[in-house]
Amino acid sequence: MNYTLVGAFVLILGGALLAAALWLASGGAWQKKYDLYLTVEEESVAGLNLNAPVKYSGVDVGKVSEIQLDPADPQRVILLFAIERGTPIKQDTVAVLKTQGLTGITYVELSGGARDAAPLTVTDGNRYPLIRSKPSISARLENVLTRVLSKLDSTSGSINALLSAENQAAFKSALADIAIVAHTIAARQETIDAGIANAGRTLENSSRASAKLGPAIEGVDRSASAIEKMAKEVTRTSASAGKTVNSIGADVQRFSAETLPELERLLGELSALSTSLRSLTEQTERNPASLLFGRRPVAEGPGESSSRAEKGKP
């Protein structure tokens, strides 16, 4: 028996078995393939470690392959993801840092990816496709708290300025003045009540007077109409009398010559009376209170007072 051939066979068989075991342990034909993606975080990534899970809507789709600072800006952190090939990474996909439960383990959550959005591709200047990022909940809370504290600080400064010694003295003085006014009003409460009651009675009397003025105005209007009608009748009578005088003798004509002037003067006075009554009616309609209180005196024009004073001097 050739022991050399047997030993060689055993070594070859053992190596083949070891290679097969390693191949099967690494996944073999079922080994997953990954694509690399970049994202840039502008916040602290404390708690995020290498091989931390990358989830898409809660499903594990990859892991964090590399974490490093941006050489151009140390405030930014560059993350490299290894994501399973075939995962629908779209142009509107967003990466967010999240903390898992009470353990505090940080992972990357991907979200977005509308159905009609285009797949994410490599852009100029980048080696891998760049996934957009947005601030985490803790970063947003920190920003909100920072703004709130800033506003509280500003409000505190304003309150301190408002409550300065000078403003406190002015406030005390204003309160003292208000107290004096309140005591004065309380001391004259009876006078104020009486004034309000008198004002109420005055308004009531004015209302009654206005109600009574209506029939009086209507009566004046009817009187003016009656006088005007009487004047027209007298005019017609005068015309008839003129015709009659022309038809009779000279004696009657002489009588008419003496009587007609008197009739004409009477007609003129009746016409003036009718005009005055109509003017009174219009004035009463415009200002009913003038029947009770009379017409208000017309204000003197410029220079009238001095001229009247000079006329009154001896």
Ramachandran region of residue 86, left (φ > 0), alpha (ψ -120 to 50) or beta? left
Domain ranges of the chain: 31-134, 135-173, 213-292
pLDDT of residue 309: 44
- pLDDT tens for 133-183 read 988 887 888 888 888 988 888 888 778 777 777 777 887 888 888 988 888
* Average pLDDT, rounded, for the chain: 77
Which band of pLDDT confidence, cut at 50, 70 and 90, is reported for residue 126? Answer: confident
Which band of pLDDT confidence, cut at 50, 70 and 90, is reported for residue 2? Answer: low
Q: What share of the chain is helix, strand, coil (3-state, %, to 5)?
A: 60, 20, 25
pLDDT of residue 267: 74
Return the H-helix or E-strand segment holding 180. helix 165-187
Q: Which residues neighbour 42 within 8 Å (Cβ) at sequence distance 6 or greater?
A: 75, 76, 77, 133, 135
CA–CA dist 156, 149 (Å, integer):
10
Q: What percent of the chain has pLDDT over 90?
A: 13
Which band of pLDDT confidence, cut at 50, 70 and 90, is reported for residue 39? Answer: very high
Which band of pLDDT confidence, cut at 50, 70 and 90, is reported for residue 308? Answer: very low
Higher pLDDT residue, 109 or 275? Answer: 109
Higher pLDDT residue, 284 or 303? Answer: 284
pLDDT of residue 69: 92
